[in-house]
Amino acid sequence: MQQRSFSGVSQSPRSPSKQPPYLAVSVTDPAKMGNGVQAYISYKVITKTNLPEYQGLEKIVIRRYSDFVWLRDRLFEKYKGIFIPPLPEKSTVEKFRFTAEFIEMRRQALDIFVNRIASHHELQQSEDLRIFLQADEQTMERARSQESGIFKKKPADLMQIFKDVQSRVSDVVLGKEKPVEELNPDFEKLKRYVFELEDHLAEAQKHAYRLVKRHRELGQSLSDFGRAVKLLGACEGEALGKAFAELGAKSEMLSVKLQKEAQHLLMNFEEPLKDYVRAVHSVKGTIAERAAAFRQHCELAETIKLKEIDLNKLRLTRSERTADAEHEYEELKADGEEARRRFETIVRLMNEEMVRFQEEKTLDMGLAFHEFAKGQSRLANGIADAWRSLLPKLEACSSS
Amino acid sequence: MMGSENQEAHPHASREEMQSLILDDTSSSTSQSFSSYRSAMTTLSESHHPLSVPIATSPAESDPLLSPPPPQHRHLQSPKSTSNPNMQPPLYFADVGEVNGIESPSPSQSLEKSSPFSRSSSSSSSSSTEYIKIAVSNPQKEVQSSNKIVPGGNTYVTYLITTKTNLPDFGASEFSVRRRFKDVVTLSDRLVEAYRGFLIPPRPDKNVVESQVMQKQEFVEQRRVALEKYLRRLADHPVIRKSDELRVFLQVQGRLPLAASADVASRVIDGAVKLPRQLFGDAPSTIGPQDAVQPAKGGRDLLRMFKELKQYVANDWGGSRPPVDEEDKEFLEKKERLRDLEQQLSNASQQAESLVKAQQDMGETMGELGLTFLKLTKFENEEAVLNAQRIRAADMKNVATAAVKASRYYRGLNAQTVSHLDTLHEYMGLMLSVHTAFSDRASALLTVQTLLSELSSLNSRAEKLETSSSKRFGGDKSRFRKVEELQEAIRVTEDAKNCAAREYERIKENNRIEIERLDAERKADFLNMLKGFVTNQVFYSEKIGSEWAKVAEATSGYVKE
């Protein structure tokens, strides 16, 4: 059960001791910094909290996209088993990097990202989050450059999962040594579910984006049509000419409505779908971590067994090396224990996270659906009202 | 103007053409016209759209001239209500029935508007009004038996043309005849010749390229639709419906007794044969009165054509004013105005097409989105482990269903939009007729001008002869003879000029009447187009809005305060 005890609510703090604990974060005020190739967008991150770990009731820092990436990577490393909230993608197309639309979408996504972290009962306690929310720019920059490359997600790990799920047969056929696999039917089911879900969602998002485009196109053609009709009306004159003029004007007005709805659709329906897809990617990342932890655990278990055999041999021969070997064996056992524990933690966390994830997505999508339906209903009714208002005028024209 | 009062209640309905022909033969003709309607519909939709009803799709490009013909009509029964129950989506939904809980409106209430100039013929109820109703059906392949040495016949298609009428001239109330496309071309050419100055509806194109490229069946169907439209327009024209040419075309069995256009070519050849004799004075070189009332083009008299061409050039380049000029200021203004209109019509027609395409795309994408969500719903339900998933699946299903319904409404909307905005295309086609009518006038004027020039040159030659000495012309007798010949020519030419002048006035009058008619009917037709378009938009938008409102209501719990 996801605790959403704090975040998203900005309350003016009175006396910290009387208030329940809260942590409210927002990402605002995008500003373009620098020039030319070096240019980037910076954001204000405002933290309001009464938690003792934080300095003061309110703190404002300036952060850029790569700072958010740093936070995400650190959390991913530290909190294996938890689905880290997804980040919006790096923009690949140079042209759009600084359009108002793109900047706003990114700001919104970053805001949601930080808020999800701040409201996750585990993640909100992270040291890295505190650094992110509070450190001054130099400290942040140092932290950011230190981490680059070391903890980067290796693409090979993700590829491993693909192989696991899809090419198991070929491995066996080729006589290759199979990577060590969790033989857990529930886990298998989960993996299949996640992969198939991603396909479905990607398709839905594609159509949603196309729908946005269609709105824009329809708006454009209504505008052109309106103009043409007005010109035609100018040829006709009198009552008919007026009728045409009114129709043309309405058409142009509706064109504006359509453009607005297109924007609304993009921000409130298509973007949540994209977010959903990203979230599924994040789940896949965690699945990879689980597989890696399992592999490690198994390998260590193997190594321990072998070591035990060795040790017993040594014990029998009463070698001087026995003491060292005993020591190593104990260490190995501790590592093995550690690895097993880590793996089991991941399993436990993942199970909890799946529940939280599903519930979160139901709420997110529920809202997205609502916005979609609301927008479409508003648009359609607006269209109906606009055209309906013309009818009496048209009637008047024909009777004259 | 419509008999039934009920139609007055519908701004749109007054344009309804109330009846179509109940054909005696065969469900096949009905189903054929139905399938033509459907094939016209499917030009609007993707042929393999998963949502589309399994119609025999035609890959023909969306032809704006192919507005769906009304295979079946009913009288619109009840007067309007605010949501206008008679404004139902058309036959498109007829086979869909109850699919996914989408209500299907009653079929066969399509909202076809009649073609322009259809005032007098569309009423069904009152029998005191005159009517001619024409249907084209039952295309059949026939082989023209070859009377040449080369074996194998020429195959062509004939169409059954059935007429129902109460006009006395026909002497019968119902009759059929088989005609081929070539006959229609002949009819059209003869009408154009006979009714100079009138706005004669443009005939269907020969479509030579398309006949090669398209599937035979589709092409024949497309042509059948076009022919029917054309003949109906002819029957709607107040003057042409009473013409011998049309009557003969509709009624006379067997070979069409109108001069085929190929014969015109032979007339030109006749004229070419005559020309040398005219130049040498052996054949009459004057234009006779009976010929003066025909246009020079297509006639037998090449010499006359040359003379008129010379006059035309002299008018254009000579700088000297022709003897009679187009003085009618009003006419020139009207001409200018109509030219403007044509341009704007063309522009508006283009934008209308873009609008239709945009609406179509919207419907398609909405439908695809809906289907994708339906698949997702199914998936989540199958894989559901947690209740949250089932709830989400249920929400998704609502959205998907609404999207699919909206998509269907968009398609209905679009079909109707095409039908309404088609009026723009129709009038664009009519502009061609206007050009022809104006050029009839111009050529008649040219004839008059030519004759006047001729007359003046004849007169000056006569004068010179009379005042000159006889020595130059080989004696009194020969001069006298020449003067007499000239006088004769002057008389004939004078007569011809008077005829030509009368013809010119007649054509001018025809122009005037027809332009007036055009203006009045265009105004009415355009108003109806606008009303229909607007009413249509209101109806479908309301439907779409209410579907989405339901979903918005159902998901309103997700809104955070």
H/E/C letters for each residue in B17-30?
CCCCCCCCCCHHHH
Closest CB to A247: pick one of B11, B362, B530. B530
Q: How far is residue B42's CA from residue B52's CA, in Å, rounded to a whole number?
A: 9
In B173-202, the residues whose Cβ lies within 8 Å of chain A are: none
Q: How far is residue A111's CA from residue A366's CA, in Å, rounded to a whole number?
A: 19
DSSP state of A85: P
Instruction: Find out whether B187 and B246 touch, Cβ atoms under 8 Å.
Output: yes
| Cβ–Cβ contact B542 with A under 8 A | yes
Percent of chain A with pLDDT over 90: 57
Of the candidate ranges A105-119, A139-153, B163-177, the one whose mean pLDDT is the lowest:
A139-153
**What does the block give as tokens for B373?**
């969500």
Closest CB to A362: pick one of B379, B392, B534. B392
What are the distances in angstroms from CA B376 to CA A249, A276, B205, B373, B402?
41, 13, 49, 5, 15
Question: Residue A223 — φ and ψ, nearest 5°?
Answer: -65, -45
In A209-228, the residues whose Cβ lies within 8 Å of chain B are: 210-211, 214-215, 217-218, 220-222, 224-225, 227-228
Residue in the structure block whose two tokens are 């639309």: A101
| Cβ–Cβ contact B530 with A under 8 A | yes
Ranges under pLDDT 70 in chain B: 1-128, 145-153, 261-274, 277-288, 290, 292-293, 295-300, 317-327, 469-474, 561
| Residues A245-269: tens digit of each pLDDT | 999 999 999 999 999 999 999 999 9
**What does the block give as tokens for B547?**
């579907």
Average pLDDT score over residue span A212-235: 95
Average pLDDT score over residue span A304-322: 83
Measured between beta carbons, which residues in chain A are less than 8 angstroms from residue B11?
A: 391, 394-395, 398
| Cβ–Cβ contact A158 with B under 8 A | no
| Cβ–Cβ contact B537 with A under 8 A | yes
In B496-515, the residues whose Cβ lies within 8 Å of chain A are: none
Q: Please tell me the total number of residues recorded for chain A in this structure.
A: 400
pLDDT at position B133 is 86
| Cβ–Cβ contact B340 with A under 8 A | yes
Measured between beta carbons, which residues in chain A are less than 8 angstroms from residue B351?
A: 221, 224-225, 227-229
DSSP symbols for B403-438 = HHHHHHHHHHHHHHHHHHHHHHHHHHHHHHHHHHHH
Q: Residue A197 and residue B379: Cβ atoms within 8 Å?
A: yes
Closest chain B residue to the Cα of A221, Cα to Cα: B355
Q: Dmax of chain A from CA atoms?
A: 120
| Cβ–Cβ contact B272 with A under 8 A | no
Measured between beta carbons, which residues in chain B are less than 8 angstroms from residue A234?
A: 344
Average pLDDT score over residue span A269-298: 93
Instruction: Find out whether B449 and B323 touch, Cβ atoms under 8 Å.
Output: yes
Instruction: Find out whether B248 and B256 touch, Cβ atoms under 8 Å.
Output: yes
Cβ-based neighbour number of residue B78 at 10 Å:
10
Measured between beta carbons, which residues in chain A are less than 8 angstroms from residue B355?
A: 218, 221-222, 224-225
Q: Residue B548 and residue A373: Cβ atoms within 8 Å?
A: yes
Q: How far is residue A215's CA from residue B334's CA, in Å, rounded to a whole number?
A: 41
Q: How far is residue B381's CA from residue B373's CA, in Å, rounded to a whole number?
A: 12
pLDDT at position B65 is 38
pLDDT grade for A181, boundaries at 50, 70 and 90: confident
Instruction: Find out whether A25 and A7 touch, Cβ atoms under 8 Å.
Output: yes
Measured between beta carbons, which residues in chain B are less than 8 angstroms from residue A379?
A: 545
Closest CB to A235: pick one of B337, B376, B379. B337
Q: How far is residue B137's CA from residue A325's CA, in Å, rounded to a whole number?
A: 101
Q: How far is A52 from chain B (nearest CA, A)?
A: 28
pLDDT at position A61 is 93
DSSP state of B321: P
Measured between beta carbons, which residues in chain B are less than 8 angstroms from residue A259?
A: none
Closest chain B residue to the Cα of A352, Cα to Cα: B386
pLDDT at position A200 is 95
Q: Residue B559 and residue A370: Cβ atoms within 8 Å?
A: yes
Cβ-based neighbour number of residue A307 at 10 Å:
18
Q: Residue A361 and residue B388: Cβ atoms within 8 Å?
A: yes
pLDDT grade for A244, boundaries at 50, 70 and 90: very high
Q: Residue A398 and residue B11: Cβ atoms within 8 Å?
A: yes
**What does the block give as tokens for B434?**
């206007």
Q: Residue B527 and residue A222: Cβ atoms within 8 Å?
A: no
Q: Residue A203 and residue B372: Cβ atoms within 8 Å?
A: yes
pLDDT at position A39 is 84
- Return the closest-CA partner of residue B409 out of B457, B459, B367: B367
pLDDT at position A65 is 92
| Cβ–Cβ contact A197 with B under 8 A | yes
Classify A28 as helix, strand or coil.
strand
Q: How far is residue A161's CA from residue A283's CA, in Å, rounded to a whole number?
A: 12
Q: How far is residue A118's CA from residue A123's CA, in Å, rounded to a whole number?
A: 7
Q: Dmax of chain B from CA atoms?
A: 126
Q: How far is B551 from chain A (nearest CA, A)?
A: 6
Q: How far is B94 from chain A (nearest CA, A)?
A: 25
What are the distances in angstroms from CA A122 to CA A4, A76, A129, A269, B270?
11, 12, 11, 29, 104
What are the distances in angstroms from CA B66 to CA A103, B40, B44, B111, B204?
47, 6, 11, 15, 12
Query: For residue A253, what is the enclosing H or E element?
Result: helix A238-265
Count of A-B CB contacts under 8 Å: 204
Closest chain A residue to the Cα of B396, Cα to Cα: A369
DSSP state of B146: P
**What does the block give as tokens for B509?**
């009058």
Q: How far is residue B67's CA from residue B37's CA, in Å, rounded to a whole number?
A: 8
Average pLDDT score over residue span A220-239: 92
